[in-house]
Amino acid sequence: MKRTHPSPTRRSLLKAAALAAGLGIGVVGVAQAQDKAPIQFATLMDFTRVYTFLTSEYSQGQQDYIKLVNMEGGVDGRPIKLIIKDHASYPERGIAQYNEARSDGAVFFDFLSTPVANALMPRANEDHLPMIAFAHGRADAADGQKFPYVFPAAAIYRSQAALLLQFIDEHEGGLKGKKIAFVHIDSPFGKEPIELLNKVSALKGFELKLFPYPVPGTEQAATWTEVRRYRPDKVIIWGAGPGQAVSIRGAVGNGIAPKDIHSVIWLSESDMQSFTGDTVVGLKRFTAVNTGTSPAILKRIVDKVITPGQGSGDKAKVGTTYYNIGVASMAIAVEAARLATKKLGAPLTGEKLKQGFEMLKDFTAEGLMPPLTITDKDHQGGGWGRVSEWDGKQWAPKSDWSHAFQDVVWQLIREDEAKAKK
Amino acid sequence: MSYFIELLINGALTGLMYSMVALGIVLIYKSSGVLNFAQGAMVMIGGYAVWLLAETGLPITLAIMLALLVMFAFGLLAERVLLRTMVGQPIIMIVMLTLGLDIFLRALGPGLLGTEPKHLDIGIGMAPLILGDVLTNRTYAVGGVIALVLIALALLFFRTRLGTKLRAVSDDHVSSWSVGISVERAVAISWGLAGLCAVAAGTMWGAVQGVDWSLTALLFPAVAVVILGGVDSILGALVAGLAVGILGSVIPGYVDSLVGGSTRDVVTSVVILLTILIRPYGMFGREDIERI
C-alpha cells in the first residue's frame, strides 16, 4: 500500500506558522527576560549590634535611591534588586551571607562594618566582586593595585584627619605651636589616623597628645580630666555612636569651647539631638556628602519616592547625614554599573563593574558630593571632603570641597604595605 | 595633687553609678542564688521605658515614676513566666536562662524602638560642678547621690519584716517553704526591686550617653563590682563600686598616656581575676561552708 503524505492544507500551514511564531516569541521573550533580569546588589550590614547608630538611616537612603533608579528605568532597562541582611558585625555571619548572595548572583557588596569588610576584602579580590567601604575601613583599601575590587570611594580616615588639620591651619589661626588633643576610642578605627597626625605634626610644628578611651566609649570621665589638664588649643574627637555624645559632654563639661572641637565623619543630626539650644554651636565635623534635601538627587527622591508614600523609613530622616551618605554610596555603585554596561555591554559582571568604578570621573551624584574620580590606582577618589559646623539645627558647610596632605596619606599607605611584606 | 583628687572624685562617682547596676544583681542573688546576667539589658529597657514615657509628653519626673512601676511589674512577670518554670532545675541552667533573657531584651528594645541612640533629657546641664581646682560631672554627682540613697534603702529594706523573709529565702528555700514563707513571692519581689535599680541606672547612664544597646555593656563593670564586693552583699556593692570606679579612673589617668591605650578594662579584669583567686566570695560576701 502506498503511503502518501497528506498535502499540507492552508489551515495546517497557518497552524504551523502560528506555532513557529509562538515558539519564536517565546525564545525571544526568554532572552529578553534574561536580559532584563534584575542586577543584584548585596547590602549585608549590622542592623542590630555595633553600627546601630548608623545603619538604619544609611540603608534607608540606599533603599530610597534604588527605588528612584528603578522608577526611572533601572540600569540599561534592568532593575536593581537589593539583598538586605543583618550580619550584626559578626565576620562569620557576614561570610555566610556573602557566599549566599554570591550564589544568588549578586555583583556588588556593601558590608558597612570594618570587621566584616576586613574579613571579606581578600574574598572580593579572589571572586572578582566589587565592594564599597564608603569613608571607612582600612587605609590600604585605597590602593587599587593591592585591592582591585575594594572601593572606599570617599576620604579614608587618614584623609579625614588631614582635612581637619588643614582647616585648623588655614581657618583657625594655624597649626604651628598649637597643642592638639586627639581623643579617640581605643580600637583600630580610633587609632587609624594616629600615624598621619604624627607625620603632619612634624611637618607643621604642632604638639600632639593622644587620649584613648575604652570601647564602647560610654564612660570617659577620667579621659577628659586629663585632656583639660593638658590645656589643648584644639581637640579632635574620633569615635562613633553614643561615645561621640559622651565625648562632647566630656569636652564641654571640662571647659573646652565647642568651636575648638573637631570630629570624624560619624556625628549626625541624630547624635546632636542630645544637645539642646546653643550648647554645642560651633562644633565642627568632617563632611563627605552634603546634607539636607537641596541636591537635585535628593529632590527627585523626595518627589518620586517619599511624597507618594514609597519611602523606606521615617520621613524625618530624609536628608540627614547618614541618609545622604547611603544615597551617595549607592549612587556611586549605580553610576559604575551604568558606565560598565554602556562601555562594556550587558550582562553586568563583577569584572565589568570594577572597571565601571574606575571609569568614574568627576562624579558628584548631582551635587550631593565632591567630584569623585576613581582610577585603577586610587580607589579613594582623591580624599575629598569639607568641614561643616553645627549651628544648633543643622550642619552648615564652613569650607569648600578640598583635600589635604594626600602625599602624606599615600606615603603612609606605601609604608604600611612595605611593613606588611616583611 | 588636684589632678589625683579629681580622678579620685570622678572615679568614685562613676563607681557609684556602677553600684546602681550591681545592686540589682545583688538583690536577685540574695533571694534566689541566681547571678542575673540580664541586669545590663534590664538597665537598657529601664532607660527605654523612661524615654518612651517622656516622649508621650509626660514630665520627666512622672515618666521616671511610671517607668519604676513598669519595671517592677516586669520583674514580677520575669519571675512568674521564666523563673518559676525553672524550679528544681540546676542553678547553672537558671543562670543560662538569664543570659537568654539578656539576648532577648537586647534584640527587643532596639528592634521595637529603632537602633539610633535616644536622647534622654533629665534637666541636668552640661556645666560642671566646680570645687576649687576640681571639676565633676553634674549627672554623675546626681547619679552618685541616687546610688547612695538606693543602697541605704536596700539596707533598710532587709531589716523590715518582708526583708527578713527575703533573707530567710536567701539562706534556704526549703526551710523557708517549711515555715510558710512564699519563696516564689520573695524571688518575684527581688526581681521587681532589681527592675527599680535598672530604671535608676538606665535613666542616669542614659542621660550621659543616650539610650541604646550599649547600656547593656554596663554588665561588665557591674559584675566586677559584685565579685569584688561579694555577690550577696549590699554593702559590698557600695564599697566595691567605689573601688572599681576609683581604680578605673586613677590608674588609667596616669598610665594611659604612657602606654598609648586605654587600661580601664584591664584594671577591671584584674580586679575580677585577683578577687576570684584570693577571696572568691568577695570582700563582704558570705563564705558558705558545705558538708561533703
Q: Which of A95, A132, A99, A138 is nearest to A118 (CA)?
A: A138
When pLDDT is cut at 50, 70 and 90, the band that residue A35 belongs to is low
Contact A208, A201 (CB under 8 A): yes
Residue B33 lies in a domain: yes
What's the pLDDT at B136? 85
* Residue from A225, A256, A269, A276 whose CB has the most chain B CBs within 10 Å, to mutate: A225
When pLDDT is cut at 50, 70 and 90, the band that residue A1 belongs to is very low
What's the pLDDT at B179? 87
Residues of B with CB under 8 A from a CB of A: 3, 6-7, 10-11, 13-14, 107, 110-111, 114-117, 119, 121, 126-128, 135, 137-138, 140, 205, 208-210, 212-215, 217-218, 248-250, 252-253, 256-257, 260-262, 264-265
What's the pLDDT at A2? 42
Look up residue A263 and give its amino acid: S
* Residue from A211, A213, A218 whose CB has the most chain B CBs within 10 Å, to mutate: A218
Contact A253 B137 (CB under 8 A): yes
Residue B255 lies in a domain: no
pLDDT tens-digit readout, A296-310: 999 999 999 999 999
- A126 to A44, A344, A350, B30, B190: CA distances (angstroms): 19, 21, 11, 57, 56
Residue B172 lies in a domain: yes
What's the pLDDT at A374? 96
Q: Which of A158, A165, A124 is nearest to A138 (CA)?
A: A158
What's the pLDDT at A30? 47
SS3 at position A32? helix
Residue A254: which of B11, B128, B215 has the nearest Cβ?
B128
Q: How many domains does chain B have?
A: 1
What's the pLDDT at A5? 47
What's the pLDDT at B243? 96
Residue B97 lies in a domain: yes
Report, as an integer, the average pLDDT of B201-207.
Answer: 94
Give the range among A141-145, B169-173, B272-276 with minimum mean pLDDT: B169-173
Q: Provide the shortest C-alpha distance from residue A384 to chain B (in Å).
A: 27
Q: How far apart, in whole angstroms, are the C-alpha atoms of residue B69 and residue B145?
A: 21
CATH of domain A158-287: 3.40.50.2300
Give yes or no on whether A39-155+291-383 and A158-287 have one common fold. yes
* Residue from B7, B119, B126, B135 whose CB has the most chain A CBs within 10 Å, to mutate: B126
The domain limits of chain A are: 39-155+291-383, 158-287
When pLDDT is cut at 50, 70 and 90, the band that residue B107 belongs to is confident
Report, as an integer, the average pLDDT of A45-67.
Answer: 92
Q: Provide the shortest C-alpha distance from residue B209 to chain A (in Å).
A: 5
Assigned C-alpha cell, A373: 574620580
What's the pLDDT at B2? 81
Q: Which of B143, B145, B119, B141 is nearest to B128 (CA)?
A: B141
Contact A57 B116 (CB under 8 A): yes
CB-based contacts of A142: which residues, under 8 Å, 6+ apart? Answer: A152, A156, A378, A379, A380, A383, A409, A410, A413
Contact A323, A57 (CB under 8 A): yes
What's the pLDDT at B37? 94
Examine the pLDDT at B260 and tell me if it is beyond 80.
Answer: no
Stretch (H or E) spanning A184? strand A179-185
DSSP state of A238: E
What's the pLDDT at A222? 86
Report, as an integer, the average pLDDT of B214-241.
Answer: 94
Contact A52 B218 (CB under 8 A): no
Mean pLDDT of chain A: 90
What's the pLDDT at A276? 77
Apex A5 CA angle, A3 and A9, nearest 5: 150
- B19 to A161, B23, B143: CA distances (angstroms): 38, 6, 10
Supply φ then ψ for residue A104, to 5 degrees: -80, -5
What's the pLDDT at A11? 55
Contact B210 A213 (CB under 8 A): no
Q: Which of A142, A128, A109, A89 is nearest to A41 (CA)?
A: A109
Examine the pLDDT at B290 and tell me if it is beyond 80.
Answer: no
Examine the pLDDT at A191 and tell me if it is beyond 50.
Answer: yes
Q: How far apart, in whole angstroms, are the C-alpha atoms of residue A95 and residue A87?
A: 9
What's the pLDDT at A108? 97
Mean pLDDT of chain B: 90
Supply φ then ψ for residue B291, to 5 degrees: -80, 125
CB < 8 Å to B114, chain A: 56
Report, as an integer, the average pLDDT of B156-172.
Answer: 86
pLDDT tens-digit readout, A108-123: 999 998 889 989 999 9
Examine the pLDDT at A6 and tell me if it is beyond 80.
Answer: no
A51: alpha, beta or left? (left if phi > 0; alpha if psi -120 to 50):
alpha
Residue A53: which of B117, B218, B262 has the nearest Cβ?
B117
Residue B8 lies in a domain: no
* Percentage of chain B modeled with pLDDT above 90: 60
CB < 8 Å to A243, chain B: 209
When pLDDT is cut at 50, 70 and 90, the band that residue A421 belongs to is confident
Q: What's the topology of domain A39-155+291-383?
A: Rossmann fold (3.40.50)
Contact A223 B7 (CB under 8 A): no
Examine the pLDDT at A330 and tell me if it is beyond 70.
Answer: yes
**Which ipTM did the prediction report?**
0.78
Contact B256 A276 (CB under 8 A): no
Report, as an integer, the average pLDDT of B284-292.
Answer: 68
Examine the pLDDT at A383 and tell me if it is beyond 90.
Answer: yes
| Domain housing B156 | 13-215
- B156 to A256, B149, B189: CA distances (angstroms): 43, 10, 15
What's the pLDDT at A161? 97
Contact A52 B140 (CB under 8 A): no
Report, as an integer, the average pLDDT of A198-222.
Answer: 92
* Percentage of chain A modeled with pLDDT above 70: 92
Contact B217, B40 (CB under 8 A): yes
Report, as an integer, the average pLDDT of B112-127.
Answer: 85
What's the pLDDT at A21? 52
Give the range among A69-73, A333-337, B281-285 with minimum mean pLDDT: B281-285
CB-based contacts of A388: which residues, under 8 Å, 6+ apart? Answer: A284, A285, A287, A291, A395, A396, A397, A398
Residue B291 lies in a domain: no
Q: How far apart, in whole angstroms, are the C-alpha atoms of residue A255 and residue A259?
A: 12
Examine the pLDDT at A25 and tell me if it is beyond 80.
Answer: no
Examine the pLDDT at A8 and tell me if it is beyond 60.
Answer: no
Examine the pLDDT at A3 and tell me if it is beyond 50.
Answer: no
Report, as an integer, the average pLDDT of A167-173.
Answer: 96
Give the range among A65-79, A401-415, B172-186 with minimum mean pLDDT: B172-186
Contact A48 B135 (CB under 8 A): no
Q: Provide the shortest C-alpha distance from residue A308 to chain B (in Å).
A: 24
Contact A276 B10 (CB under 8 A): no
When pLDDT is cut at 50, 70 and 90, the band that residue A102 belongs to is very high
DSSP state of A308: T
Q: Provide Rg for chain B, Cα atoms.
A: 19
Report, as an integer, the average pLDDT of A235-262.
Answer: 93
